Amino acid sequence: MILFGIPNCDTVKKARVFLDQSNISYQFHDFRKDGLTVEMIQAWLSQVDYSTLINKRSTTWKQLNDHERQAIEQQDLTLLCQHPTLIKRPILQYNKQVLIGFNQTEYQHLIQSNLS
């Protein structure tokens, strides 16, 4: 199980607390420190819609110029790797399943269905 995000994000913190309190072992992958690859994003996109993955409310999105925004909207994954905070957080990847954001019920269901 891998949890992707940035450590100072409040939603990522909630997910980490839930996993820790549930005694679920996971690896934390920091978008900024550990980076992202096009292949990682493509794997997520095999499970979720592109519009679900992009965070247009982020500060990073607001700082992009029109050309960069258009490129992101046209699924320029290389540019997305360069600006990882454009991706909604956290991303929980487990057995090729992907959850975007933190919803305790969804996390519990994913974990229970895969551990039983």
Percent of the chain with pLDDT over 90: 87
pLDDT digits (tens, 9 = 90+) for 76-87: 999 999 999 999
pLDDT digits (tens, 9 = 90+) for 21-45: 999 999 999 999 999 999 999 999 9
Does this model's pTM top 0.95? My answer is: no
Range of the domain at 9: 2-115
Residue 79, domain CATH: 3.40.30.10
* SS3 per-residue string spanning 30-72: EHHHHCCCHHHHHHHHCCCCHHHHECCCCHHHHHCCHHHHHHH
Closest residue by Cα to residue 35 from 93, 69, 71, 83: 83
Number of domain units in the chain = 1
Asked if 81 is an active-site residue, the reply is no
Assigned token pair, 37: 């690859």
CA-CA distance, 33 to 38, in Å (whole number)? 16
Give me the catalytic one of 1, 2, 6, 9: 9
